[in-house]
Chain A
């Protein structure tokens, strides 16, 4: 068996750097700044990684890093510990399961798939919070965060575009 065409991805390049960029962007947008009386949006940046990593290829490190990123969000945003970790892993798992259906789709269709995975993440978080605090969060607030996260697809597209062909074993 020849391994010449198998060129494993450098984990630092396709997992480490995007994860650090997500952490940096989260720190930046957590600043208590108001512009013209409006506060900054709060997108879930690690959603870009959850979608992109699952589309690129199955990986052992990716879910572990998503767990760490989710924990970071929970602690930094002051939410229930494990909320975003489980939500992101759920989106990663669904994307991984549907990966074969997404491969080769056009960019608008991939954007629609990404928005769908954002919905999965938000629905998971919604259910967890309902069970945790026995109260339903505001759907309007959930919708705003969904929209702020869904418009981040260009970053996920760049991540996929850059590393999709790097490992031909999973094409």
Chain B
């Protein structure tokens, strides 16, 4: 056998087999970890201490690594604005004229809106506080799209908070350590966001796939969407507030409706983490839980019109007890119920329930 002919064959075989055994053991460990991962649950306890520790260390490291690039970008931006200052000035003057008109209109609409709300007594959503953070790391692969921001539980951030850039929705917080938080982007393959089309009010689920433009799935209605329609968060399910800008609808090369994200229009350096809680969480849960259900009143078969002619007057039965009150167990025989008001006024004619033989079709 050729393997045994050289002088090291005796040593080679055991080492190779041990390496294979080590590989199998590592594979089993890897698969076990994969099966035990609960990332998709987006729960605080599922994030794990290991991820929190790595995020805590990664945040300052990422900030340091990204600093030269950030400085270079700032310098290039300053140089670009310096060179293009004349053209930018002309553009800003044009924008100013347009924006003055829009600002006057906005003031008028806000005043009208406030008056109408006051007349109707509409309860508006409470203002949402926010925390500002800088993005320090960025993962962009097909299997994970997440960012690390340098604001964590110390700044009041908790899992589930939505995150916006200066242009639109970026994602939501899926993990928090003391001074950093992990943001799952809208483009992540595990991301699902309820959205609506601003023009038609049609609902859809924004589904990430690791690419730059997430898909719109479960679109309902006839012609609910057109090219260029604005896409906003719908607020359905209470996970996100309603009306946050998401992007614009485009038809993808695969024939599916996709969204060009507003947040991708420029580099995302700073983000705002909205301290938004589902409004159902703000409600008094104890008061809601203490609400008693009304008693269940079922049809009395004796009150039916059919068969009323064959009825025989019988004494009225006491009214049924509400189901919310549990029956009291007692060894004593049930006492006679007090006479009901119905009994006092007049005996109710009660129809005789048909026997099985009578009810059988002839």
Residues of A within 8 A of B62 (CB): 27, 30-31
Bin the interface of chain A by size: 35 or more
Q: Which stretch of B16-24, B106-114, B243-251, B306-314 is in the interface?
A: B16-24
Complex contact B61–A169 (CB within 8 A): no
B73 at interface by CB-CB < 8 Å: yes
Complex contact B182–A78 (CB within 8 A): yes
Query: A135 CA to B22 CA in the complex, in Å?
Result: 32
Interface string of A82-117 (1 = CB under 8 A from B): 110110011011001000000000000000000000
- Pick the most buried of A39, A71, A138: most chain B CB atoms within 10 A of its CB: A138
Contacting A at CB under 8 A, from B214-264, are none
Chain B's closest residue to A8 (CB) is B15
> With A27-B62, A137-B189 given, is the CB distance from A1 to B139 under 8 Å?
no
Q: Which 9 A-B pairs have the closest CB atoms?
A: A82-B34, A78-B146, A79-B144, A138-B211, A58-B19, A141-B142, A33-B69, A77-B139, A32-B138
> What are 17 contact pairs spanning A and B, CB under 8 A?
A31-B66, A32-B135, A58-B16, A60-B19, A63-B25, A77-B139, A78-B144, A78-B146, A80-B144, A81-B36, A89-B26, A89-B30, A128-B34, A133-B40, A137-B189, A141-B141, A169-B12
- Closest Cβ of chain A to B302, distance in Å, is 54
Question: Which residues of B approach A to under 8 Å, CB–CB?
Answer: 7-8, 10-12, 15-16, 18-20, 22-23, 25-27, 29-37, 39-40, 48, 50-51, 54, 58, 61-62, 65-66, 69-70, 73, 135-144, 146-148, 174-175, 182, 184, 189-190, 207, 209-211, 267-269
Residues of A within 8 A of B35 (CB): 82
Residues of A within 8 A of B136 (CB): 32
Residues of A within 8 A of B147 (CB): 32
Complex contact A32–B137 (CB within 8 A): yes
Contacting B at CB under 8 A, from A9-48, are 27-28, 30-34, 39-40, 42, 44
Query: A162 CA to B228 CA in the complex, in Å?
Result: 56
Query: A49 CA to B269 CA in the complex, in Å?
Result: 33
Query: A76 touches which one: B39, B58, B142, B175 (CB < 8 A)?
Result: B58
Query: A96 CA to B26 CA in the complex, in Å?
Result: 15
> With A81-B33, A169-B11 given, is the CB distance from A96 to B23 under 8 Å?
yes
Kindly list 19 other residue pairs between chains A and B, CB separation below 8 angstroms, not including A78-B51, A81-B39, A92-B23. A1-B8, A32-B66, A33-B73, A62-B19, A63-B25, A70-B30, A71-B33, A75-B51, A81-B36, A83-B34, A83-B143, A86-B31, A133-B190, A135-B190, A138-B209, A138-B211, A141-B142, A145-B141, A170-B12
